[in-house]
Amino acid sequence: MYLEYNSSMMVSLLGERQEMAVKSTGSGQRDRLRELAEEKLRQQGSAPGMDLEAMSPVEIRRLVHELHVHQIQLEMQNEELRQAHLDLDATRSKYFDLYDMAPISYVSLDEKGVVLEANLAASALLETPRTALLGQSLTQFIFPEDQDIYYLQTRAALKTPASVFVT
Contacts of 5 (CB under 8 A, 6+ apart): 11, 60
**Residue closest to 101 by CA, chosen among 120, 124, 127:** 120
Residue ranges covered by each domain of the chain: 2-98, 103-163
| Verdict on whether the full-model pTM lies above 0.85 | no
In this prediction, residues 137-146 reach a mean pLDDT of 94
List pLDDT tens digits, range 114-137.
999 999 999 999 999 999 999 999
63-72 long-range contacts (CB < 8 A, ≥24 apart) are 63/11, 64/3, 64/11, 64/13, 67/13, 68/1, 68/13, 71/13, 71/17, 71/18, 72/17
d(CA 26, CA 32): 10
- For position 111, what pLDDT does the model report? 84
Helices (H) and strands (E) in the chain, counts: 6, 4
- For position 162, what pLDDT does the model report? 60
List pLDDT tens digits, range 6-48.
333 333 333 333 444 444 556 788 889 888 888 887 888 766 6
List pLDDT tens digits, range 53-78.
888 899 989 999 999 999 999 999 99
CA quadruple 85, 87, 92, 93: dihedral, nearest 10: 120
- As its CATH architecture, domain 103-163 has 2-Layer Sandwich (3.30)
Tell me if residue 10 falls in helix, strand or coil.
coil
